[in-house]
């Protein structure tokens, strides 16, 4: 594997999950693979899980790890070509990227959508510059339109907890006070489309995701109806995708918050969320603290998804 930015890079999902579970059983079996290899993790945005789980995964493989928070301690970076750099940005990404590439063997990048220019976000400008100019294998630690390490961990978790061969999985929009990217929802939908699960997306009108990510999923505007007989509820907020409201919060309607009464409509569904989560906006205390909440094992599987991806990237060096 030469890069990892979407589900398309990972190959057959059954093989990927099988490999991930083997790694989970014996995560220190490949400590020689990363010896004398360096991972650079680059964050344009904040992170708790991605930062720690990916660093741990790299250490499990024997790698050296460098972490750079671009907005804290590095020069401010210009990303657009043709800009007259007379402002506060001292360095252009087009010099910074090959320089960073010269210090490492693999690069992980986190760069969220700006939520102002849909075209720039959906062209993945920043991530693609790293792919094109770093000279190194690049993997996404959440980009403008996808969060594949999260989706891979979500899939591993569903495979571990499912009680039916083909569970019903529901992606539910839930309210949030601030505009969030569509990346987690897009990516989750994209990965679910590659499974044989029954997959339903529910959200208020106006929150339709990009058609290329919705694919053949069932879209149900009635959240109660969507939850009927579900085996997994995957909660997430996202801002509007459709013009003219791209990147906007259209509703903070707390009737969409996931609470006990809604979970009672399901077939004893497990509750999932990528975290961080705003309690009593996205989900009630009662639901996230219930025995059906699997948000902690889901987050723990981030180490496993990251290690599987890093192992494959190292094997291709």
- Report the interface residues with ligand CP, using CB under 6 A: 47-50, 142, 150, 274-276
Q: What are phi and psi of 64, to 5 degrees?
A: -85, 145
Nearer to ligand CP, 48 or 90 (CB): 48
Nearer to ligand CP, 47 or 117 (CB): 47
Q: E-assigned strands of the chain?
A: 3-4, 38-43, 64-69, 77-78, 91-92, 106-110, 138-140, 168-173, 198-202, 218-220, 232-236, 270-272
User: Can you read off the two tokens belonging to residue 309?
Assistant: 């991806």
Closest distance of CB 46 from ligand CP, Å: 7
Closest distance of CB 236 from ligand CP, Å: 10
What does the DSSP assignment read for 186-204? HHHHHHHTTSSSEEEEE--
Closest distance of CB 36 from ligand CP, Å: 27
What does the DSSP assignment read for 245-282? STT------GGGSB-HHHHTTSSSPEEE--S---BTTT
Closest distance of CB 150 from ligand CP, Å: 5
Nearer to ligand CP, 37 or 146 (CB): 146
Nearer to ligand CP, 78 or 153 (CB): 153
Closest distance of CB 29 from ligand CP, Å: 26
Which residues on adjacent β-strands are paired with residue 270? 232
Nearer to ligand CP, 11 or 276 (CB): 276
Nearer to ligand CP, 37 or 49 (CB): 49
Rounded-to-integer distance, Cα 255 and Cα 257, Å: 6
Rounded-to-integer distance, Cα 153 and Cα 234, Å: 13
Closest distance of CB 142 from ligand CP, Å: 6
Task: Please name which of 185, 141, 115 lies closest in space to residue 5, comparing C-alpha atoms.
Answer: 141
């Amino acid at each position: 594997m030469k890069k990892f930015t979407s589900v398309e890079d990972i190959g057959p999902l059954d093989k990927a999950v099988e490999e991930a579970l083997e790694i989970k059983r014996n995560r220190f079996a490949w400590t020689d693979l990363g010896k004398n290899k360096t991972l650079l993790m680059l964050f344009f945005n904040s992170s708790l899980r991605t930062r720690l789980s990916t660093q741990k995964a790299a250490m499990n493989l024997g790698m050296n790890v460098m972490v750079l928070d671009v907005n804290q301690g590095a020069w401010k970076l210009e990303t657009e070509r043709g800009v007259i750099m007379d402002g506060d940005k001292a360095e252009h990404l087009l010099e910074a990227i090959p320089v960073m590439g010269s210090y490492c063997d693999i690069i992980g990048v986190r760069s969220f959508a700006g939520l102002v220019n849909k075209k720039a976000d959906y062209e993945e400008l920043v991530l693609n510059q790293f792919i094109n100019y770093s000279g190194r294998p690049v993997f996404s630690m959440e980009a403008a339109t996808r969060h594949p390490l999260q989706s891979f961990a979500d899939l591993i978790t569903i495979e571990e907890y499912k009680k039916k061969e083909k569970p019903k999985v529901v992606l539910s929009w839930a309210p949030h006070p601030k505009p969030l990217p569509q990346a987690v929802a897009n990516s989750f939908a994209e990965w679910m489309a590659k499974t044989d699960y029954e997959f339903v997306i529910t959200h208020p009108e106006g929150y339709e995701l990009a058609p290329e990510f919705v694919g053949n999923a069932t879209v149900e505007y009635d959240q109660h109806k969507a939850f009927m007989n579900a085996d997994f509820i995957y909660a997430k907020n996202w801002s509007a995708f459709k013009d003219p409201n791209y990147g906007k919060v259209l509703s903070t309607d707390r009737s969409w918050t996931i609470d006990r009464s809604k979970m009672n409509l399901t077939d004893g569904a497990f509750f999932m969320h990528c975290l961080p989560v705003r309690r009593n906006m996205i989900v009630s205390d009662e639901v996230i603290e219930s025995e059906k909440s699997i948000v902690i094992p889901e987050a723990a599987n981030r180490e496993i998804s990251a290690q599987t991806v890093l192992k494959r990237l190292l094997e291709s060096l």
